[in-house]
Structure 1
Amino acid sequence: MQVQELLSLSDIARLAQVQRPVVTVWRSRSRGTETPFPEPARTVGSQDFFDAAEIVSWFKATGRGNNPEFDADAAAFSNIARDNFHSVSALLVLRQLWDRPFKGLGSEDLLDAADGIDPDDEFLYSELEAASDHLEFLAAYVDKLVDASYGALPALQSLVSDRFRATETAISRTAISAQARQLVARCALELSGVEMYFHEATHAGSDLIHELARSLDESAAAVIQQPAVTGSPSPEVRMALRRLKMLASANESLSLVKTRPGNQQVVHVAQFPSPGMPTTDPETILHEIDDLVLELGPAQGAVVIAPADVLIDAMPSKKSASIRGSILRMGRVRAAARLPQGHLLYKPRTAMALWVIGPEAKGLPLAERRIMLSNLSDLELDEQVIDDFATDIGASLIGDDALRSHAFRFAQWARASVVVASTGSLIPGKRNTNASAAVDSSSLAKRQVQLELALDHLNSSAKDRPELKIELRPRNIDELPSRDHRKGATPLGDLVSQGTIRLISGTRFTSQALDSVPSEGIKVWNAADLREGLPTSVVSYFDLAQAYDQAVLTKAGDVVFTAHGKPTAVVDHQGSHAVNYPVRILRIDSQESSGIMAEVLVKDINDAQHSNWRRWDIRRLPQDMVAPLESSLRIIEEERLAAAQRIGQLDIISEQLISTLLSGEAEIINPSICTEGRP
């Protein structure tokens, strides 16, 4: 069988590290020259495919593109892996486990090696046997692919991440975002304790266990229980096992074991829909979750991610409500969270949700148990949100004492009995304003519990804040900086010309690129955002790579500003944001050597009275004062954020108190107010 290595125009653009339209220009302008663009080797529908070897030769002859390693990298962008997904992935795993290149080996040699690695044909032998008529070609291609990807593991990861370009619809339709995977992984780590024993309970596997492995400390030993393979497993199940074999082989701290009897403290991670069960039918998913919870040992737990209309929202039928109620009545669901839309990549308008299922709560009746409910639907799942939510989960698993000692950021607490009895949504959200919500129940007891817990959290967080200490000492005359340094004001234009501050232009994004709602993307600073201090628009990763590949992202500590209208600037503490012209970036070369601090720079820009940025006077600090001021400002910022959180808690308490008293079913027995801790 003849197999040809082909590249589409998009593949060629990725290989050359240019935008897609550039390749079209090359193709048209090279006609009639001494080095015309190669003719298509195959056309499928309206899409042309080109011989990879001819394209590499053309690049060498013309010097086009930005990739000096065309020849070595071509294999990573060709169609071979996509068109032979399972056989190429099997060869990659074989090469990793066998630990030798395939050069010089025939089909029989490769099948013998596969038989030695997989004698029971659990994960790769059948895939290679099915491709035996062109196995030598694929093996030679895999050798090139491994070299281009700097290893078999990165090559397999790239192949799997390219799922939207492949024909693996079961995988592509169930993929979830990196942020959602990270959230599940962090919660699983909080649930695991010291045992570090995990199992992928997703049908045919998912990316969850791999994300979890990436989240582990490099020195932490962990055990992954591989799924049992029985009967004739589907291609997706075999692919999942290949990925686990590769993962364990490439990580010495991971041990891959078969199912063990007994009650190890296993943490299961499960995703619905999954490659092996791509349905989103609530009843089917709830039956699967029910089976999972019933099979858990007393010390085991699980983290489940599924559509919010299954885990959180009002049930579409009485049967679905009954199944979910029976799961909740087991008393092992310890936390539930509604996530923002966009994290089920194939259906970005579908909101996902999370359940954290803990070990059995011994000696505590259901009526006295509490469930942590969190609505994250209006938040971006950035690193800080993921970290804070996982910390809340860890504290909630300790017991009731933690409810008073930990300042929860996202928790709303509800009695488990109230949640079980709810006929509507467990958590109120934009799509469920008419549903009966457990946390908005009219139950007086429920409201009292919420109010008491909110007050405890508020007082605890106030007492936990350290005393703010910033001490100043007058300097002696001989310690004062030089007169020149005390003048300290230099026009911004001079600082840019000297290279002390680097001016980086913004990118002119189209309104279409920013008006879309991508499932994943980069936040973009607009001029209007500078007044609020947060970027609001998003550009998709695809648009950024294809249409705006010259865009420069901010680094943490950069100043973003605009001179149009009233000069406005803000420090981008997080970084990794794009800027939309007329917003521009100011990057300080070195704060300590230049004496220029981002916060001072922002203040000077915001105080400017004209729009000629070159003439804005920027003040400098004595060099020995940069580090102390930076440290003090960091402490002040932490206190400011804590105060903002306290204000939010006070608003919640105020609303709860008013609604409780308006019901006429309760009264305040002590009108005096004692403020504990510092405000």
Structure 2
Amino acid sequence: MTAPHIELAASDIARALDVQRPLISMWRSRYAGSPHPFPEGDRVTSHDLQAWLAHTDRLPDRVGPVLALHGELVVRGLNAQIVDDGVEALLVLARLSGEALGSLGAAGVHSLADDIDPDDRSLTSEILALGGSAGAVANLVATMLDAVPDAGAALEVRRRRSHPSPELATAAAETVTRLALALAEWEPGAAARFHDSFPAEGALPAAMPAAAGGWDLPELSTPPLGEGRAARRLRRRLLAHGWLLRELPEGDPEPGELTVSDLTGVADPEEALTAAERIALSLPEGSRAVVLGRASALVARLDGAADSVRADLLRSGRVRAIARTPAGWVPGRSREISAIWVLGDPMDGMPLAKRRTTLVDLGPLAAPGGTLPYGVVNDLVTDVLAAVEGLESMARHAFARSRVVLTSRLLAKGGDLLAGLPDRSVSRAGANRDRVAEVGELVRATHREGQEALPLRVEAHDGAAAREVSVADLVARGALRAFPGNRRPERLGLVEGGGIGLVSAADVAAGVLDQSESLRTTAAELGQRMPAARLTEPGDVIIATAPRPAAVLDVAGGHVVLAPARVLRPVPGKGVAGGAVVHAVHAAGAQDKRWRAWQIPVLAPDQAQELHEASLAIERRRIEAREELLRMNAVAAGLVAGMSVGTMRISSTTDEGMAGGQAR
């Protein structure tokens, strides 16, 4: 029997090596007459490709697992569909069992599959179909997991071979997930219970765990998924991403579950609205739902039966919030605009004339690609929470982005539900002029006797809004470097004053470095006890996530950061400024401890450098102000203490200023 092996097309090679596909064609042409021509054929084996990469000094470290993950696994005697399904099943088996599959052999893998899936709902048949090759295929699956240890992420990479574009953009998954978690009142460590009435191919629930930043044993209930290959693939996809899957015979959500459904795959407006109506009517009392769909159904002008279904839903009072989202949330249909409906209990007993619905157009707030700034999503979440609580909550809440309208007026005007909605988002005219004038005045106010104003000139500028990029992506792009904090040894000698400052998470939370109570050590002690310790550099940002996200800009550098605090270091020329990082961290929610997901604005490189210098100057002023405040506090305390015991008296002078007292 020929051993299973990996073959790659040009598109597979490009994805695996993270290069443009035309580069593969160029390699074929350039090296055609050389001693080491590029491997021939439309598909090349991983072995031949690695050999060529090594001969031409292009072989990346540990490229074998990456090629295995992106390529087609070929098993003699088995068709591609059987092999692909078997690979998916083995990825799920690895996730559910926690076993290292590569050492089990065919019989061991078969036995383990039967133990994990005794009713053969998702993976047993697929693994048995591999026959005697199951052990060798399992070994290659273990190699794939060396490239991407998370089975869900690995399965999504495999799916991209037949689905080049993701079904949902990251911005869509993150926004819907944050809404869902807030509406479910979820906190880290608590159970996460969701329901999906229309899971389709599972794109939204597959994306939610990564968007949430991880959670413990999330539960997802669905209607019965049925049998057949599509149903089994859906189960495998959900299981690979860590969901505890329950198929409810009646299909309706249970109390305590929050419904999240993606209807963007439903093109017909009447069909989509009928599905949304079914979701609304199935909600238990006190339950809520987040529905993502096409704006052509949920927001745009409608006629006929579709318009009637939508009007009935709005009239019921179940549609509490409506948001039109940016284009690009469905990458395969990049120009299509989506919308979000948030559903809740009907406003029973309240006449239609008093019912309210909140509306917001998120399109003008988005960066290219449909990404929403972190603060905008925060505003959306707080506005939605107020909307679902009822009229009293809406009356108390200062809506940041949304507009509250009478539902009756929404029904009466017809047409696009958001047409004519006043723009409360980011006007590039008046609001920006006001901000420039305000900041300019604040800069001028920093001038006082004996102190120059901050060396800044603030001018109006009609430029593009900064893109917001996650810390993880900035690190991957080389625009930001991340360093973990150092573990403090038990016997580290400390000194008072001088030496090298040790920065703890408590120092970061306080926003102050080198406090009087901060720990310090000597260079000799550091070299002996912590020889691998890394010192901060000027402009580094020191972050901590507990008790809430916090950050401080290190002006002078030369500190040792203690775990669990860590360092983020902007790379010059990449558009990231330390001051922007600090501001973004402080803008994160109190419970948002997923530091890799924090969104950082990326500026033009020259402006990032200007902001970097300005932030350092501002931080120096803050340090001086804190020191002055500490001195004033000490003077006040000393005066009170000395005069209270009768050992001091004071007098003021107008010529010399405050004079020192005399002890008696």
Using the size of structure 1 for normalisation, the TM-score is 0.60
Per-residue CA shift, 1:463-485, capped at 9, x if unaligned? xxxxx999989799xxx9xxxxx
Q: Give, in whole Å, the separation in 2 of the partners of 1:17 and 1:360.
A: 50
Is 1:598 the equivalent of 2:613?
yes
For the Cα contact (< 8 Å) 2:324–2:362, is it kept in 1? Answer: yes
Aligned to 2:361, which of 365, 375, 397?
375
Is 1:410 the equivalent of 2:401?
yes
Q: Give, in whole Å, the separation in 2 of the partners of 1:420 and 1:87.
A: 52
Is 1:175 the equivalent of 2:167?
yes
For the Cα contact (< 8 Å) 1:555–1:574, is it kept in 2? Answer: no
Aligned to 2:392, which of 390, 396, 401?
401
Shift of 1:271: 0.7
Give 5+ residue unaligned stretches, structure 1: 41-47, 250-254, 429-436, 441-449, 451-467, 481-485, 490-528, 540-544, 560-572, 589-595, 601-619, 631-679
1:443 alignment partner in structure 2: none
Residue 95 of structure 1 aligns with an amino acid whose one-letter code is A
Q: Secondary structure at the match of 1:531?
A: coil
Per-residue CA shift, 1:612-645, capped at 9, x if unaligned? xxxxxxxx95984265689xxxxxxxxxxxxxxx
Structure 1 470/200 Cα, relative in aligned 2: closer, same or farther at 3 Å? farther
Q: Give, in whole Å, the separation in 2 of the partners of 1:622 and 1:412.
A: 37
Q: Give, in whole Å, the separation in 2 of the partners of 1:221 and 1:470.
A: 51
Q: Secondary structure at the match of 2:101?
A: coil
Is 1:272 the equivalent of 2:263?
yes
Structure 1 406/470 Cα, relative in aligned 2: closer, same or farther at 3 Å? farther
Q: Give, in whole Å, the separation in 2 of the partners of 1:551 and 1:474.
A: 33
Is 1:80 the equivalent of 2:73?
yes
Q: Secondary structure at the match of 1:235?
A: helix
Q: Give, in whole Å, the separation in 2 of the partners of 1:125 and 1:224.
A: 22
2:138 alignment partner in structure 1: 139
Aligned to 2:237, which of 216, 237, 243?
243
After the TM superposition, list the runs of 4 or more consecutive aligned residues in structure 1 that deviate by more than 6 angstroms: 468-476, 486-489, 536-539
Q: Secondary structure at the match of 2:236?
A: helix
Q: Give, in whole Å, the separation in 1 of the partners of 2:453 and 2:263.
A: 64
Structure 1 223/422 Cα, relative in aligned 2: closer, same or farther at 3 Å? farther
The alignment's C-alpha RMSD in Å is: 4.4
Per-residue CA shift, 1:475-508, capped at 9, x if unaligned? 99xxx9xxxxx9999xxxxxxxxxxxxxxxxxxx
Q: Report matched runs for 1:14-163 at 5 Å.
A: 14-40=15-41, 48-65=42-59, 67-80=60-73, 84-103=83-102, 105-132=104-131, 134-160=133-159, 162=160
Moved more, 14-23 or 197-206: 14-23
For the Cα contact (< 8 Å) 1:342–1:348, is it kept in 2? Answer: yes
Q: Give, in whole Å, the separation in 2 of the partners of 1:283 and 1:473.
A: 64
Is 1:190 the equivalent of 2:182?
yes
Shift of 1:556: 3.6
2:566 alignment partner in structure 1: none
Q: Give, in whole Å, the separation in 2 of the partners of 1:69 and 1:551.
A: 29
Shift of 1:180: 1.4
Aligned to 2:204, which of 190, 204, 208?
208
Shift of 1:587: 4.1
Residue 144 of structure 2 aligns with an amino acid whose one-letter code is L
Aligned to 1:532, which of 462, 476, 480?
462
Q: Give, in whole Å, the separation in 1 of the partners of 2:256 and 2:416.
A: 31
Shift of 1:243: 2.9
For the Cα contact (< 8 Å) 1:334–1:370, is it kept in 2? Answer: yes
Structure 1 382/207 Cα, relative in aligned 2: closer, same or farther at 3 Å? farther
For the Cα contact (< 8 Å) 1:5–1:78, is it kept in 2? Answer: yes
Residue 373 of structure 1 aligns with an amino acid whose one-letter code is L
Residue 55 of structure 2 aligns with an amino acid whose one-letter code is A
2:221 alignment partner in structure 1: 226
Structure 1 530/132 Cα, relative in aligned 2: closer, same or farther at 3 Å? farther
Residue 386 of structure 1 aligns with an amino acid whose one-letter code is V
Task: Choose between structure 1 and 2 for higher RCO, CA contacts under 8 A separated by at least 6 residues.
Answer: 1
Q: Give, in whole Å, the separation in 2 of the partners of 1:303 and 1:126.
A: 35
For the Cα contact (< 8 Å) 1:553–1:576, is it kept in 2? Answer: no
Q: Give, in whole Å, the separation in 1 of the partners of 2:259 and 2:54.
A: 51
Q: Secondary structure at the match of 1:80?
A: strand
Per-residue CA shift, 1:245-280, capped at 9, x if unaligned? 23337xxxxx6555499951221001113xxxx441
1:332 alignment partner in structure 2: 318
Q: Give, in whole Å, the separation in 1 of the partners of 2:55 and 2:69.
A: 21
Structure 1 191/360 Cα, relative in aligned 2: closer, same or farther at 3 Å? farther
Shift of 1:368: 1.7
Moved more, 80-89 or 52-61: 80-89
Residue 347 of structure 1 aligns with an amino acid whose one-letter code is R
Per-residue CA shift, 1:449-474, capped at 9, x if unaligned? x9xxxxxxxxxxxxxxxxx9999897
Q: Secondary structure at the match of 1:299?
A: coil
Shift of 1:351: 1.0
Residue 534 of structure 1 aligns with an amino acid whose one-letter code is A
For the Cα contact (< 8 Å) 1:72–1:147, is it kept in 2? Answer: yes
For the Cα contact (< 8 Å) 1:153–1:246, is it kept in 2? Answer: yes
Q: Secondary structure at the match of 2:404?
A: strand
Residue 151 of structure 2 aligns with an amino acid whose one-letter code is A
2:660 alignment partner in structure 1: none
Structure 1 260/388 Cα, relative in aligned 2: closer, same or farther at 3 Å? farther
Q: Give, in whole Å, the separation in 1 of the partners of 2:304 and 2:52.
A: 65
Residue 320 of structure 2 aligns with an amino acid whose one-letter code is R
2:575 alignment partner in structure 1: 554
Moved more, 133-142 or 54-63: 133-142
For the Cα contact (< 8 Å) 1:270–1:304, is it kept in 2? Answer: yes
1:444 alignment partner in structure 2: none
Aligned length, in residue pairs:
474
Structure 1 289/14 Cα, relative in aligned 2: closer, same or farther at 3 Å? closer
Q: Give, in whole Å, the separation in 2 of the partners of 1:383 and 1:487.
A: 32
Q: Give, in whole Å, the separation in 1 of the partners of 2:224 and 2:280.
A: 21
Residue 197 of structure 2 aligns with an amino acid whose one-letter code is A
Structure 1 16/244 Cα, relative in aligned 2: closer, same or farther at 3 Å? closer
2:305 alignment partner in structure 1: 319
Using the size of structure 2 for normalisation, the TM-score is 0.62
Structure 1 352/629 Cα, relative in aligned 2: closer, same or farther at 3 Å? farther
Q: Secondary structure at the match of 2:332?
A: coil
Q: Give, in whole Å, the separation in 2 of the partners of 1:405 and 1:107.
A: 64
Give 5+ residue unaligned stretches, structure 2: 75-79, 367-371, 425-441, 470-475, 478-570, 581-597, 627-664
Structure 1 597/339 Cα, relative in aligned 2: closer, same or farther at 3 Å? closer
Structure 1 31/377 Cα, relative in aligned 2: closer, same or farther at 3 Å? closer
Q: Secondary structure at the match of 1:36?
A: coil
Q: Give, in whole Å, the separation in 1 of the partners of 2:136 and 2:207.
A: 32
Is 1:423 the equivalent of 2:414?
yes
Shift of 1:586: 5.7
Structure 1 244/627 Cα, relative in aligned 2: closer, same or farther at 3 Å? farther
Per-residue CA shift, 1:594-616, capped at 9, x if unaligned? xx95338xxxxxxxxxxxxxxxx
1:301 alignment partner in structure 2: 288
Q: Give, in whole Å, the separation in 1 of the partners of 2:69 and 2:412.
A: 54
Shift of 1:341: 1.7
Q: Secondary structure at the match of 1:346?
A: helix
Q: Report matched runs for 1:272-671 at 5 Å.
A: 272-273=263-264, 278-315=265-302, 317-380=303-366, 381-428=372-419, 531-535=461-465, 553-557=574-578, 575=600, 577=602, 579=604, 584=606, 587=609, 598-599=613-614, 624-625=620-621, 627=623
Q: Give, in whole Å, the separation in 1 of the partners of 2:132 and 2:266.
A: 36
For the Cα contact (< 8 Å) 1:553–1:575, is it kept in 2? Answer: no
Counting aligned pairs with the same residue, the percent is 28
